[in-house]
């Protein structure tokens, strides 16, 4: 495990999309909005901080770990374990002829 950032080397699928702190900030805002309890998720330089309603603060490395750390949404029907194949097309269709 990296002592500076807390990562274990395994890369979550969302890492390339959330490589910058502004992108992680958007994801953190989404998690905070989805939380059923007063939980605050904040982006950091290397991951996320999840603050519980009791004051417990947990540093996590990626979106999957942040999702699991937020009580109430991890046990729900939504998941960030892997993206839906319908979420992103495999290839951009080519348009032939006139539009």
pLDDT at residue 44, rounded to an integer: 92
Report the percent of the chain where pLDDT is more than 90.
18
- Within 13 Å, how many C-alpha atoms sit on residue 75's CB side? 3
Q: Name the average pLDDT for the chain.
A: 76
- Looking at per-residue pLDDT, the higher value among 95 and 62 belongs to 62
User: Which whole number is the average pLDDT over 6-20?
Assistant: 74
Full-model pTM: 0.65
Sheet order of strands, 40-43 included:
40-43, 48-51, 57-60
3-state secondary structure 15-58: CCCCCCHHHHHHHHHHHHHHCCCCCEEEECCCCEEEECCCCCEE
Confidence grade of residue 9 (pLDDT, cut at 50, 70, 90): low
- C-alpha 50/C-alpha 46 separation (Å) is 13
Does the structure show a pLDDT above 60 at 39? yes
């Amino acid at each position: 495990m990296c002592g500076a950032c807390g990562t274990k080397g395994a890369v979550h699928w969302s890492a390339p999309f959330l490589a910058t702190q502004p992108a992680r900030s958007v994801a953190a805002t989404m998690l905070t909005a989805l939380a059923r309890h007063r939980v605050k998720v904040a982006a950091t330089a290397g991951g996320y901080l999840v603050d519980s309603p009791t004051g417990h603060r947990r540093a996590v490395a990626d979106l999957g770990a942040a999702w699991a750390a937020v009580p109430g949404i991890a046990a729900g029907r939504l998941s960030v374990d892997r993206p839906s194949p319908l979420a992103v097309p495999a290839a951009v269709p080519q348009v032939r002829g006139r539009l």
